[in-house]
């Protein structure tokens, strides 16, 4: 690289400008795209995402402004279908070590379908995923039992879970330990407590938070742009705007079962190699659902994803 060219990571994306961090010196710059950058074979609404590594050229050293010339190949990314452009994807974050889904059973409610679509998006790049159930303090005894059942279900297929209260728990040591030394993505609906948790983990950051809307019982957006925070030395967390829907992008029907660990274990057991596990004879997955070895709710999520893949084209 020349003296004016350097490698950086995208720390914050605001649409037209990006906050970047020089990978060698740690210096902060503002950067923008010069010209059109197209990602080969990928139609996305955001060609550059938080977590991306980019090659930049200094425009003004005094003002710390640079131009993004090139996006390095990603090791992974979490992507969803763009809300207003069905044929396009929107990259939530790139080059992450793990994906943390913050879910709540109440105020607002996170559906199992949403959880399962997020897990599939992570599985498609073999990104380790963890489900953190927040707001334990607002749950009724019946809801607490239901949450325990959900945790048992997800843990049985290999997903670690945590149950906590961002506002009531004296210690968040278990979550702290989970994040240590990694770049983790925090994702979930608006109002599930992502920013509140971040403020507990690193109070100096001071992310804005809001109460849940009493009218809709849904979250109110407080995080406007995805941003990486260093919460401890060498421990980074990406806080993201709340996601209303998590429709899959670019996932083909034949692939979807591969991203369900409990179905993946049975893929060679079906009579037909191209079995979609709908109504085919001698289907090991359907047999496992009927026997109670695969949760029926997970199978329902799978069917919903197949239907969404049909509607996307």
- List pLDDT tens digits, range 171-230: 899 999 999 999 999 999 989 999 899 999 988 876 555 443 333 334 344 556 889 999
* Dist CA 120 CA 248 (whole Å): 8
- Find the helix packing angle between 112-123 and 296-312, rounded to 10°: 70
User: If pLDDT is split at 50, 70 and 90, which confidence band does 84 have?
Assistant: confident
208, containing H or E segment: none
Of 29, 37, 50, 33, nearest to 225 by C-alpha is 50
CATH top-level class of 77-239: alpha beta
Going from N- to C-terminal start, the domains of the chain cover 5-71, 77-239, 253-312
Q: Which CATH number fits domain 253-312: 1.10.40.50, 1.10.150.120, 1.10.730.10, 3.40.50.720?
A: 1.10.40.50
- pLDDT tens digits for range 1-38: 567 899 999 999 887 899 999 999 999 999 998 766 65
* Dist CA 39 CA 249 (whole Å): 15
H-type alpha helices, 63-212: 112-123, 141-156, 173-179, 194-201
Q: What is the pTM of this model?
A: 0.89
Mean pLDDT of the chain, nearest integer: 89
Topology of domain 5-71, CATH: OB fold (Dihydrolipoamide Acetyltransferase, E2P) (2.40.50)
Q: What is the largest CA-CA distance in the chain?
A: 69
pLDDT of residue 12: 93
- Mean pLDDT is lowest, of 31-45, 92-106, 231-245, for 31-45
- Mean pLDDT is lowest, of 38-52, 57-71, 79-93, for 38-52
Burial of 144 (0-12, 13-18, 19+ CB in 10 A): middle
């Amino acid at each position: 690289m020349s003296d004016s060219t350097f490698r950086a990571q995208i720390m914050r994306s605001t649409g037209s400008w990006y906050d970047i961090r020089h990978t060698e010196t740690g210096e902060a710059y503002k950067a923008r795209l010069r010209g059109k950058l197209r990602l080969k074979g990928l139609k996305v609404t955001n060609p550059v995402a938080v977590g991306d590594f980019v090659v930049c050229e200094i425009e003004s050293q005094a003002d710390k402004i640079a131009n993004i010339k090139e996006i390095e190949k990603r090791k992974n990314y979490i992507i969803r279908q763009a809300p207003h452009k069905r044929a396009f994807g929107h990259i939530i974050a790139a080059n992450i070590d793990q994906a943390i889904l913050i879910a709540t059973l109440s105020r607002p409610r996170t559906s199992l379908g949403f959880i399962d679509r997020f897990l599939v998006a992570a599985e498609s790049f073999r990104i380790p995923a963890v489900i953190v159930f927040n707001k334990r303090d607002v749950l009724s005894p019946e809801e607490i039992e239901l949450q325990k059942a959900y945790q048992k279900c997800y843990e049985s297929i290999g997903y670690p879970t945590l149950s906590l209260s961002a506002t009531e728990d004296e210690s968040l040591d278990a979550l702290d330990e989970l994040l240590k030394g990694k770049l983790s993505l925090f994702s979930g609906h608006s109002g599930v407590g992502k920013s509140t948790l971040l403020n507990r983990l690193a109070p100096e950051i001071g992310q804005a938070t809001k109460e849940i809307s009493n009218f809709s019982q849904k979250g109110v957006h407080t995080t406007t742009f995805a941003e990486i925070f260093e919460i401890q030395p060498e421990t980074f967390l990406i806080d993201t705007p709340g996601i209303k829907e998590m429709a899959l992008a670019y996932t083909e029907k034949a692939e979807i079962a591969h991203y369900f660990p409990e179905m993946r274990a049975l893929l060679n057991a079906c009579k037909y190699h191209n079995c979609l596990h709908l109504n085919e004879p001698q289907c090991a997955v359907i047999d496992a659902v009927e026997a109670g070895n695969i949760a029926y709710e997970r199978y329902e999520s799978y069917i919903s994803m197949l239907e969404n893949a049909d509607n996307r084209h």
